Structure 1
Amino acid sequence: MINADDLGYDPGITRGILQALREGVVSSSTLLVNAPDSGDAARQARGLAIGLHLNLDRGPPVDPAFPGEWRTVDGGLAGARVGELPADVVEAEALAQLERLERLLGQAATHLDVHKHLHRHPQVLEGLARVARRAGLPVRSIDARMRGALRAWGVATNDHFVGESGATAYWTPEHFSSALAALPGEGVTEWMCHPGHLPEVVTTRYAAQREVELGTFLESRSREALEQAGVHPTDFRVLRAR
């Protein structure tokens, strides 16, 4: 599964993700529902494999009952204090964001993941897992500890995970080839990625790097390499059929 994070974050980012889904080898994406481009992104992405990119880091909460004591000074989400959020608060906000996704997109989410991997915090993971179990949706796991916890709660998850974002572009053509050569022979692997055009509205440290990733996933060499390896990218719905 080659999943592009941050759909709806910014119009430029959205355009790049949709291009990677329709013209490249990216097979899945996750939508931010409380970001500048959420509505337009959802309308353009209908019919594609789209999950929820739960956002607890910035922007306004979706749950109208989100407690005031957990808002930032500008009325936004918990931000740096997210690790202290009670599981019940996370559960309510995750459910509200999931319901908004379904309204915007006009279809069910394929899975759940979290902006900036904030489900590394135990209470965030627990709140998210409650919603996932109720909705019957898989959740991204980024390591063995998280994978074990999700499965203990009865939540489906990927077997392996590859991906990062930093000072330099992560998915270059060279890294794509090396990751494909190292692909485990068994289980379901998620490759997290961040393709896109330059942001037009938001400020993000991962900006020009997105264009490098977009080029990688649009390259004919990438499609050819997948075909030669006998690998066919899919989406998280395969986990629901297990």
Structure 2
Amino acid sequence: MKEHATPPRALILNADDLGYDPGITRGLLKALREGVVSSATLLVNTPWSEEAARQAGGLAIGLHLNLDRGPPVGPGFPREWRSMDGGFIGAMVDALPADVVEAEALAQLGRAERLLGRPATHLDVHKHLHRHPQVLEGLARVARRAGLPVRSIDAGMRDALRARGVATNDHFMGESGEAAYWTQERFAAAVAALPGEGVTEWMCHPGHLPEVVTSRYAAQREVELATFLHPRTREALDRGALRPTDFRVLHAA
């Protein structure tokens, strides 16, 4: 196994949930094209996935693996792990075998790349479900085969991915709770405290209000969008001599 070498300092601002809802997608793409967000991940099993991928031409997009809601993409996803309407049962994901996760992750990655018309930049997981060991194992197999980085959210996950030969970020920050996470104040403080070396991912959720789906993180997306579009946010990055990049910085790691 290749020993991990810490790359020079780099910051990735990755927006989750491309394709989740038309309003969310519209705001997310605005954050990418007009703001400081530099990367996003696509849900491929929603009614809006295809249009979202089409609208994301030329942008750095990875796969937002979804094992929580909506229908599986892989034709062989076992019936016993599906709900009455054929979708995922999010509460049962901790019992999914690694082989089942691997097959579904491979199917979703294939669909992402077909919809985008280009390779995905990296992999992450809706609701961080790769906290479950067998989900992490199945995902890591696909990532290793595809040569793609995977988001890690803590030191234990980082070590586990690297032990499996999968590249990952060195640092991580982001949340989606009751209050909007990325305010201008938190953003400026995070820039000032950014580690001096390694690849840092800041997960974010900018967007407009959902038009169709119900999401507990709704109005908070508008706050994040305003943060990433505000001139003071770009000024904070300029003061730190930072130009956000995407996960392709890890492809050669």
Shorter-normalised TM range = over 0.9
Read off the aligned partner of 2:65 and give its amino acid letter: L
Deviations 1:142-192 (A, max 9, x none): 000000000000000000000000001000000101111110001000000
1:46–1:107: 8 Å Cα contact kept in structure 2?
Answer: no
1:226–1:232: 8 Å Cα contact kept in structure 2?
Answer: yes
Query: Are 1:41 and 2:52 counterparts?
Result: yes
Read off the aligned partner of 2:96 and give its amino acid letter: L
Larger relative contact order (CA 8 Å, sep ≥ 6): 2
- Tell me the equivalent position of 1:220: 231
1:31–1:51: 8 Å Cα contact kept in structure 2?
Answer: yes
Read off the aligned partner of 1:230 and give its amino acid letter: A
CA displacement at 1:194 relative to structure 2: 0.1
The residue matched to 1:161 in structure 2 has which SS?
strand
For normalisation by structure 1, the TM-score amounts to: 0.99
Aligned equivalents of 2:30, 2:252: Cα separation in 1: 28
Determine which of 162, 168, 177 is the counterpart of 2:188: 177
In the TM superposition, 1:1-242 aligns within 5 A as 1-242=12-253
Aligned equivalents of 1:218, 1:67: Cα separation in 2: 43
1:16–1:196: 8 Å Cα contact kept in structure 2?
Answer: yes
Aligned equivalents of 1:135, 1:47: Cα separation in 2: 21
Aligned equivalents of 1:150, 1:186: Cα separation in 2: 20
Aligned equivalents of 1:53, 1:65: Cα separation in 2: 20
Count of aligned residue pairs for this structure pair: 242
Deviations 1:57-101 (A, max 9, x none): 000000011000000122101310001100000000000000000
**Same amino acid, percent of matched pairs:** 80
CA displacement at 1:224 relative to structure 2: 1.1
1:98–1:109: 8 Å Cα contact kept in structure 2?
Answer: yes
For normalisation by structure 2, the TM-score amounts to: 0.95
Contiguous gaps of at least 5 residues in structure 2: 1-11
Which portions of structure 1, spanning 4 or more consecutive aligned residues, are displaced by more than 2 angstroms?
none
Aligned equivalents of 2:99, 2:149: Cα separation in 1: 19
The residue matched to 1:20 in structure 2 has which SS?
helix
- Tell me the equivalent position of 2:8: none
Read off the aligned partner of 1:108 and give its amino acid letter: P
Contiguous gaps of at least 5 residues in structure 1: none
Aligned equivalents of 1:131, 1:78: Cα separation in 2: 22
The residue matched to 1:177 in structure 2 has which SS?
helix
Aligned equivalents of 2:251, 2:217: Cα separation in 1: 32
Aligned equivalents of 1:47, 1:171: Cα separation in 2: 25
Aligned equivalents of 2:62, 2:212: Cα separation in 1: 23
Deviations 1:181-232 (A, max 9, x none): 1100010000000000000010000000000000000001111110111111
1:72–1:79: 8 Å Cα contact kept in structure 2?
Answer: no
Aligned equivalents of 1:72, 1:27: Cα separation in 2: 36
